[in-house]
Structure 1
Amino acid sequence: MFQNHFPDILGLNKGTQIKGTVVLMRRNVLDFNDFGATAIDNLTEFLGQGVSLQLVSANNVDSGNLKGKVGKAAYLESWLTSTTFAPLTAGETAFQVHFDWDDEIGVPGAFIIKNNHLAEFFLLNLTLHDVPNQGDIHFVCNSWIYPASRYESDRIFFANKPYLPSETPQALRDCREKELEVLRGDGTGERQEWDRIYDYDVYNDLGNPDWGSSLARPILGGSTELPYPRRGRTGRPPTKSDPKSESRLFPLVQDFDIYVPRDERFGHLKMADFLTYILKSVSQNLRPLLESVFSFTPNEFDSFEDVRDLYENGFPLPQDLFKTISDQIPAPMLKEIFRTDGEQALRFPTPKVIEDNKSGWMTDEEFAREMLVGVNPGVIRLLEVFPPQSALDSTVYGDQTSKITKDQLEKNMGGLTVEEALANKKLFILDYHDAFMQYLRLINTPEERAYASRTILFLQEDGTLKPLAIELSLPHPNGDKFGAVGDVYLPAEQGVEGTIWLLAKAYVAVSDSGYHQLISHWLNTHAVVEPFIIATNRQLSVLHPIYKLLFPHYRDTMNINALARQALINADGIIEFSFLPGKYAMEMSAVIYKNWVFPDQALPSDLIKRGMAVEDQDSPNGLRLVVEDYPYAVDGLEIWDAIKTWVQDYCSYYYKTDEIVAQDSELQAWWKEIVEVGHGDKKNEPWWFKMNTVADLVQTCTIIIWTSSALHAAVNFGQYPYGGYILNRPTLSRRLIPKEGTPEYDEMVKSPQKALLKTITPKFQTLIDLSTIEILSRHTSDEYYLGQREHPNWTADATPLAAFQKFGKKLAEIEEKLISKNNDETLRNRVGIVNMPYTLLYPSSEVGLTGRGIPNSISI
């Protein structure tokens, strides 16, 4: 009876059939150099027997092997210019296909696809229409399909109906288990681009000892001295000079072809691919170009106006060198980097922090405000003990207790004593003393000079913070065991004291920039999430409901992390080159990872741990903020609660009891692998959840989603709006505060601007830094934001779909609420003297450099 619904388009008697629509993208449509490719060029190559598909039954098994019955092969027949179930976007093509159907197939639960071409293509989805007694059945694929000869096992895709392992139909169990075996691999061999294997390795690929000892780097992970989250294994051979270090790809040729499982790579995302090429150009073309420029050009800014000229007129480049880079970079990318149609200038967009007020960044008000609303708002904490203490081992580092005195603080506390301020939770600290003190003897060279810093702040009646003192410390000249030496600087606005105070704030900003980039950003989002991605793909089937919950929050993270290991955090990479603490940056992040605690990554737990909130059941979030106008915390708690409610609604649909969690074989294997392998250097910590209850599962998934989405957005997309003006967030310091009686001191008295400019990031590093953070601060044109999914039929279960729609509506309500808060003039921290509203946790965004928006995943 069903054959009457379908035309006999090939003039054949098709019998009873199911019509399907296959949506795919050809490889050359995705090619960076083929932006003009159309959706229907050369599509005849896919017709005939080039691509075959076979349905696999979900409810009928072959009596001989208890596997789902497999139908006859069907082939792509003709392309469609549009579909009724979903509009096609640029580069996508829909094909019609007809499957033979009978009662032996029953309900299709999976399909096998074979690519008989010589090149791969990207398969987006398959929809079966009007399946008897089922209606439409959706298969969401989003996967590269290589020639069948590349695979030892058939490529199989499952329908969008999720199952817990114990509830999986018998007909699909073997396919479910075999697919996971493929994704795990056997842990041997060098991975190839068509591989789909997820496996773990330590960070032993950052250095290049074969090129000299200066490029050797310690292995991170696998030791108590330098523990680290695991990264994806590539299987590349070891270096010749160090068998424990993995060789790097050949420079300039393979640098961005590092292995990650193929479906994790940029390539199905044109704009993200475009940004990858820009990042490659910055590291491989722009940096050498500028290096040659600065070999005969002074590497100093002359004035603050000279810095601002980067946005108004740009940095001029010599004609011959401009032509060299023009020949090496494709025209669309060249225009994106230089923002010109031919002018020889490297020009940057005006950073938001100086867009309305060019000097507001210099004020104490903005200096303090950015600790609550800036790109690194999760470090400030309540000061609970005075004087500030150190956690460094006193048998090694001596007495590291702060030398700040009560008298110094009480000068600017409006009559309060330190004891009264502590009791009333009025004192706060931004403390980078311990993190940097351990490395200052290594960091401080003739080229770089830095301090370990402590900044004490006071909460005023109007809800704003003001700095009271900055302590800048150095290791004792007689050795570490003698403790620290340093000076305390107090606020001043005029004269040489005002200049020194501005310098002191700059040193704090340098520490904050380095800590932010390596710890708050890289370690606490990018690095810690990667083991969860690997374990999820290895241990949770795509049929598992928790896989479907978490999958969108992993999009492109492994790929951007791999790119970072190649060009950003590697030896002599962009971060080492332009950020403190230079070559010791990643090693320092490993030392700080010792203090990483997974449950504390929950925003409420983090706020309580830092003393920025106290439990209060009468408050809407169950927390009362110590600083009521703390925009990161206020907005973040709104987002956190929305995520947790969504996760609770979703998980409770599949897990009615704690016993179901404890008895879920895939879930338990997943959690065991995360604890014992992915974060294996911390496997003996007592704080890991036991994963025996629904509450454990909900909190775990909420932390993963929060970290991958909102936390990353908060610490990433403000990089350029705040740090694009290097005076506001310098990344390097090159000399110490001048001593009276020296030429440097006399220069500081005569020209305060030059003194600051000669202290912080020089021009060359500024240009590289700005080029990089502008790339990292952008949203791509194909981004999916929190509350959005790439495919509307990502699950067949109606209740979770309804809960997800409720989540999206809640996020829209939150955004309206946050906009309203930013218009409330009584909340002085939200906009500040620079007239820069806090928008980093607005859920939505447009394309580009917006300073707002929460993507689902760490995709840049």
Structure 2
Amino acid sequence: MFSGVTGIMNRGQKIKGRVVLMRKNLLDFNTISSIPSGGVEGVIGSGLNVIGSTLDGLTAFLGRSVSLQLISATQLDENGNGKVGKDTFLEGIIASLPTLGAGESAFSIHFEWDNSMGIPGAFYIKNYMQVEFYLKSLTLEDVPNHGTIHFVCNSWVYNSKLYNKRERIFFANKTYVPSETPAPLVKYREEELKILRGDGTGERKEWERIYDYDVYNDLGNPDSSEKLVRPILGGSSIHPYPRRGRTGRYPTRKDPKCEKPGEVYVPRDENFGHLKSSDFLIYGLKSLSQYVLPAFQSVFDLNFTPNEFDSFQDVRDLYEGGIKLPLDVISTISPLPVIKELFRTDGEQVLKFPPPHIIQVSKSAWITDEEFAREMLAGVNPCLIRRLQEFPPRSNLDPETYGDQTSKITAEALELDGCTVEEALSKQRLFILDYHDVFMPYLRRINQTSAKSYATRTILFLRDNGTLKPVAIELSLPHPDGDESGAVSKVILPAKEGVESTIWLLAKAYVVVNDSCYHQLMSHWLNTHAVVEPFVIATNRQLSVLHPIHKLLHPHYRDTMNINALARQSLINADGIIEQTFLPSKYAVEMSSAVYKNWVFPDQALPNDLIKRGVAVADSSSPHGLRLLIEDYPYAADGLEIWAAIKSWVHDYVSLYYAADNDVKSDYELQNWWKEVVEVGHGDLKDKPWWPKMQTLEELIETCTIIIWTASALHAAVNFGQYPYGGFILNRPTTTRRLLPEQGTEEYDEMVKSHQKAYLRTITPKYQTLVDLSVIEILSRHASDEVYLGERDNPHWTSDSRALQAFQKFGNKLKQIEANFAQKNNDASFGNRIGPVELPYTLLHPSGEEGLAFRGIPNSISI
């Protein structure tokens, strides 16, 4: 049956193997069709997509088109490298294997091998087809003197000619620090890293696997319009930034330092998998940008739909009744899978969003002061509140440039349940949410656009029952006489009735808009997505796949470069979704650069962050060595449990390969990795004294823990609550369009008559709301094939049984932690965990499920 395949019938001294491939969408191993009349050679020559007519025909084709060569890990050739075996071709499909996933096909293969070849430790693979395939794994069975050997590959393999005579190599799932690498594999290890680093020149191509660095010089589009010019982020002290993956695209005509926007290269194996539901989420974002949002815009441009909500019920109708759209708009967007999956259409002209969690139990509890304060501890941006340690609050802005920016809030104005300000400070019961210094330098420019807002400070008091009470909001504007003259500020106090209650409601809206923008641009984009990408690049450039730290960190990089590339195309680019809908508009990402100036790597460790913000103090008698000053602080309390579990796992794992500090110092791959992270990946901050020196075992453990925490738990905490909290735009508006109305104006009279209209005319209008909701619903979803913290996508990720046991211990610990979280959420004494909206805090529950689950910690920043 397979007469054209050499050597299949003669299976003397051979090692039996099983190769698992996954289909590309255009190369479906399970599709029944016909091979073109020109035969295999015709297919290869024409570059057409290859689809087999029967399993036999497909087998014959693949048998002549994919070859493997085993490489010895124990026997040297005449050049001192591992012996390379004979070319061996794939054979027949293994029809039924229970372990195969959707779209996977397994092929048998038999390698000629004898004792003189020793034990295989790597293999070459050649693809003679014009189309690529995804290589999942190779398993060798009954290897003499060894048993089973697993090769976990997970890589796209293109036609061998595209690799410039450098054959694709894969290593067995062994783990070696560089000094312990078997001599036959040393050259192969070094050569593979050299390939991954590239030479820093040329435009990257789809099939390449080169990891390199560049600055953010592709967000603007100067060739299209002066309005789309944006500063280059990275490479200067003015606009420092983490590095992103280099694409080498052509420069723009008007600014040779900027790259032309367009499709963005990422190393091929960083691209989303062809069968992942993450593909759908990414397709959704692209569809929104290219089709859905322009269709929405046309509706409002042509006045089919007014761009204002007239009541809070109008907003709730987005979920209860839907929004009516013209038939031509529905016909344009309804065929798109993103519409069918993410929105519901009840009738031909109605588009409906799923109800966000914040209003699923109570439609009005979001408006309370209690919920406003609780979300600073358990909402989607729970990592900014800090303890107030001086009164009045002071600014860190340069007084020579910005004058006196000290707060105008007075002690007499604060209602502190009978305490004086001095008593509240000494008892550590005053807290602040402070966005003054972040927004003030940009506010004059922001307010010259269609947006109008303030820089805000919010003072909160910790009550006896453990909840926070907002006691004052300060709204500040740049001085009309110039920045050097300081700020003009209004202090707004809580009110329950009359026009004062509406003013208080609007003041809270200005705070939440500051918070929404800081969350999206800094807490979410900058502090997770952007700062992690240099670690992804450096790890692939400097740490071999055989390296223990590569094996530890690699799962926490899954899809991050790809989602970041998409963000540069559609989300944070000039006139992209963020600029269209968030307060800072064209200054959005530039503001995140200003915040990055003060980014400190060691402070990304949760315990350090909590102590720095003053919400915790060192206490050796307390769990995790510190005591929370707000005992019922869900993000901090749950986060410390997850942090401790991650650090314990990292300690157990790293200690398997590094017994002492000298082992860390002498690992040249590790040292090259860290040097490159600091001096290149985060090169704008390379001279900061706080960088770990990577000279001790403890520094390595802490560093890896921070990376894993940032990519998994921190990202989960600030990402997957976006739609549950922000899907109701009244709760988390993204922009404000006018300042507080002054007495004697029509706006003030409107505010007196209707708090709802005053609020709705101030916050995000209807079109921008549709944009916001469409985007954050996708960003808040879990993929069906998500890999969560404590899981790996392949049980054979390492052959080290000690590491597998430590990882199992980690997984068991996370299950125990999750059970404890659930128990606390059922304890009424923890008022901040549920709040007036009756929404339990579950964002740091490790396990998750597909969709808007509002729970689950993925291993990586994958959306």
Same fold (TM over 0.5): yes
* Selected match of 1:91 from 87, 94, 103: 103
Alpha-carbon contact 2:715-2:861 (below 8 Å) kept: yes
1:125-146 CA-partner distances (Å, limit 9, x unpaired): 0000111121110000000000
Q: 2:150 aligns with which of 138, 147, 152?
A: 138
Q: Find 2:86's aligned residue among 72, 87, 90.
A: 72
Note the residue ranges of structure 1 that are not aligned, 5 or more in a row.
1-7, 250-256
The residue number in structure 2 matching 1:372 is 377
Contact 1:338 1:345 in 2 (8 A): no
User: Could you tell me which residue of structure 2 aligns to residue 252 of structure 1?
Assistant: none
Give the letter aligned to residue 100 of structure 2: L
CA, structure 1 residues 40+638, in 2 after alignment: closer, same or farther (shift >3 Å)?
A: farther
| Farther off after superposition, 10-19 or 656-665 | 10-19
Corresponding residue to 2:323 among 308, 311, 315: 315
Describe the superposition over 1:7-38 as per-residue Cα deviations: whole angstroms up to 9, x where unpaired. Answer: x998722211111111011212689xx99999
Greater mean deviation of Cα atoms: 267-276 or 93-102 = 267-276
Asked whether the equivalents of residues 81 and 94 of structure 1 are also in contact (C-alpha less than 8 Å), the reply is yes
TM-score, structure 1 normalization: 0.96
1:500 is displaced (CA, Å) by: 0.5
Give the corresponding residue for 1:266.
272
The one of 207, 213, 216 equivalent to 1:200 is: 213
Q: Indicate the residue corresponding to 1:81 in structure 2.
A: 95
Which of 501, 504, 528 pairs up with 2:504? 501
Aligned: 1:395 with 2:400: yes
Tell whether the 8 Å contact from 2:8 to 2:110 is kept in structure 1 after alignment. no
Q: In the alignment, residue 385 of structure 2 is paired with which amino acid?
A: I
1: CA distance, partners of 2:565 / 2:52: 31
Q: What are the equivalent positions in structure 2 for 1:46-195 lying under 5 Å apart?
A: 46-63=61-78, 65-83=79-97, 87-152=99-164, 153-195=166-208
User: How far did residue 344 of structure 1 move?
Assistant: 2.3
Q: Which residue of 1 aligns with 2:539?
A: 536
1:294 equivalent in structure 2: 300
Q: Any conservation in 2 of the 1:30–1:270 contact (CA below 8 Å)?
A: no
**Partner deviation per Cα, 1:175-202 (whole Å, 9 max, x = no partner):** 0000000000000000000010000000
The CA deviation at 1:333 is 3.2
2:46 corresponds to: none
Q: Structure 1: which amino acid aligns with 2:261?
A: R
- Deviation for aligned residue 1:75: 1.1
Aligned partner of 1:640 in structure 2 is 643
Aligned to 2:21: 24
- CA-CA distance at 1:558 after TM superposition: 0.1
Once the two structures are superposed, residues 621-664 of structure 1 have per-residue CA deviations (whole angstroms, 9 ceiling, x without a partner) of: 10100000000000000000000000000000000011010000
Aligned-pair CA distance for 1:325: 2.8
Shift of 1:339: 2.1
SS of match in other structure, 1:692: coil
Q: Which residue identity is paired with 2:162? A: R
Q: Does the CA-based 8 Å contact 2:16-2:109 persist in structure 1? A: yes
**Structure 1 counterpart of 2:377, one-letter code:** L
Counterpart Cα distance in 2 of 1:77 and 1:538: 34
The answer for the alignment partner of 2:355 in structure 1 is 350
How far is 1:314 from its partner? 1.3
8 Å CA contact 1:30–1:267 kept in 2: the answer is: no
Aligned to 1:451, which of 425, 434, 454? Answer: 454
CA distance, structure 1, for counterparts of residue 68 and residue 96 of structure 2: 21
Change in Cα spacing, 1:56 to 1:794, as seen in structure 2 (3 Å) is: same
CA distance in 2, matches of 1:808, 1:618: 27
What letter matches 1:195 in structure 2?
E
Shift of 1:298: 1.5
RMSD: 1.8
Q: Identify the residue that residue 225 of structure 1 maps to in structure 2.
A: 238
TM-superposed deviation, 1:752? 1.0
Contact 2:343-2:354 within 8 A present in 1 as well: no
Change (3 A) 1:35 1:782: farther
* Alpha-carbon distance in structure 2 between the residues aligned to 1:90 and 1:342: 34
Using the TM superposition, name which of 442-451 and 417-426 deviates more: 442-451
Q: Given the superposition, is the C-alpha separation of residues 11 and 617 from structure 1 closer, same or farther in structure 2, using an over 3 Å criterion?
A: closer
Is 1:276 the counterpart of 2:282 in the alignment? yes
Paired with 2:660 and 2:274, the residues of 1 have a C-alpha distance of 40
Please list the CA deviations of residues 17-68 of structure 1 after superposition, one character each: whole Å capped at 9, or x if unmatched.
Answer: 111111011212689xx999999877436532210001000010112x1110
% identical equivalent positions = 67
Structure 1 residue identity aligned to 2:206 = E
Mapping 1:235-254, distance limit 5 Å: 235-249=248-262
SS of aligned partner of 2:833: coil
CA displacement 1:810-854 (0-9 Å, x = unmatched):
000000000000000001000011000000000001110011000
Q: Which amino acid aligns with 1:115?
A: N
The structure-2 alpha-carbon separation of the partners of 1:164 and 1:458, relative to structure 1 and needing over 3 Å to count, comes to same
For the residue of structure 2 that corresponds to 1:21, the secondary structure is strand
How many angstroms does 1:342 deviate by? 6.0
Q: Which residue of 1 aligns with 2:735?
A: 732
Q: Amino acid of the residue matched to residue 602 of structure 1?
A: A
1:127 is matched by which residue type in structure 2?
A: T
Determine the C-alpha separation between the residues in 2 that align with 1:134 and 1:855. Answer: 35
Post-superposition offset of 1:104: 2.2
Other-structure match for 1:339: 344
Matched, 1:618 2:633: no
Letter in 1 for 2:289: S
CA distances 1:230-288 after superposition (whole Å, capped 9, x unpaired): 00000001000001111111xxxxxxx42000000013343111111111111111111
Q: C-alpha distance in 2, partners of 1:532/1:346?
A: 41
Please identify runs of 4+ aligned residues in structure 1 that moved more than 4 A. 8-11, 34-42
Change (3 A) 1:182 1:548: same
